[in-house]
């Protein structure tokens, strides 16, 4: 059995993560903490485990790009090929975009907001032209090549998988088969979508899977079967990992 490690990494804290806002396709920067964590947690952990990369995949959003630049520079991998695609964008949070998660929980109830956040196929309300973030998202030049019929106004994990899984199968797995050391630096929902696909996790159980910012997670893939051997491994000290998982699962303050 020949194994190849594949690393998944959620970007560092963004300015809207810091403010506890639904972000989705709105293109925000990393916070100062996010920049620091990309260096002192993400890159430092990868260095500790002697992980370097031949190729990287990321979204079209700058919080992912900023994290990737910091990590690759620290690992002295800045010259590797980088594939950026909207198909690895975070899920579109529809009309929740820009709204505070705690305030929405107070308005609609925690159960409803958690269904919007973590369920497999219940979408948030659709974003229409009255939303202040509609035009900035629709007119983002990074998204100019998205077919009109594929441009979302809200998404579920299920609909995200319709754009992520084909890209995983057609573009990313071929690099793994070629024994490339692959880094996928993207977003929480994107990594959850790939994890659900490769592990065959049920629609119900996937709601319990959380991906914290900045902590690398690793799979060992069997080249002959292109199946992971064992579960995903988070590269973090256990108490810190559990604290970050709780934080990610929470609606926040």
110 catalytically annotated: no
What are the DSSP calls for 37-95, one per residue? Answer: HIIIIIIHHHHHTT---SEEEE-SSHHHHHHHHHHHHHTT-TTS-EEE-GGGSPPP-GG
- Contact criterion met (CB below 8 Å) for 253 and 102: yes
Catalytic residue among 90, 92, 155, 175: 90
Q: Is 155 exposed, middle or buried (0-12, 13-18, 19+ CB in 10 A)?
A: buried
Helix H or strand E encompassing 199:
helix 188-199
Catalytic residue among 11, 26, 65, 92: 11
26 catalytically annotated: no
Residues with catalytic roles: 11, 90
């Amino acid at each position: 059995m020949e194994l190849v490690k594949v690393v998944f990494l959620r970007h560092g804290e963004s300015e809207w993560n810091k403010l506890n806002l639904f972000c989705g396709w709105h293109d925000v920067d990393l916070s100062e903490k996010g920049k620091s964590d990309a260096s002192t947690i993400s890159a430092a952990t990868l260095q500790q485990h002697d992980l370097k990369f031949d190729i990287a995949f990321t979204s079209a959003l700058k919080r992912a790009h900023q994290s990737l630049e910091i990590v690759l520079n620290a690992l002295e991998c800045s010259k590797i090929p980088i594939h950026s695609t909207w198909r690895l964008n975070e899920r579109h949070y529809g009309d929740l975009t820009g709204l505070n998660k705690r305030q929405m929980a107070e308005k609609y109830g925690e159960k409803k907001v958690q269904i919007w956040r973590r369920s497999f196929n219940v979408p948030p309300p659709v974003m229409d032209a009255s939303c202040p973030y509609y035009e900035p998202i629709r007119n983002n030049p990074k998204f100019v090549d998205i077919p009109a019929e594929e441009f979302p106004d809200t998404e579920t994990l299920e609909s995200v998988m319709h754009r992520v899984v084909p890209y995983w199968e057609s573009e990313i797995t071929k690099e793994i088969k070629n024994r490339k050391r692959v880094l996928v630096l993207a977003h929480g929902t994107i990594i959850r979508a790939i994890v659900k696909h490769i592990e065959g996790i049920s629609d119900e159980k996937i709601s319990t899977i959380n991906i914290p910012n900045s902590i690398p997670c690793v799979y060992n893939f069997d080249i002959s079967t292109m199946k992971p051997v064992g579960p995903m491994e988070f590269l973090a000290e256990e108490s810190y990992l559990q604290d970050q998982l709780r934080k990610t699962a929470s609606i926040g303050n």
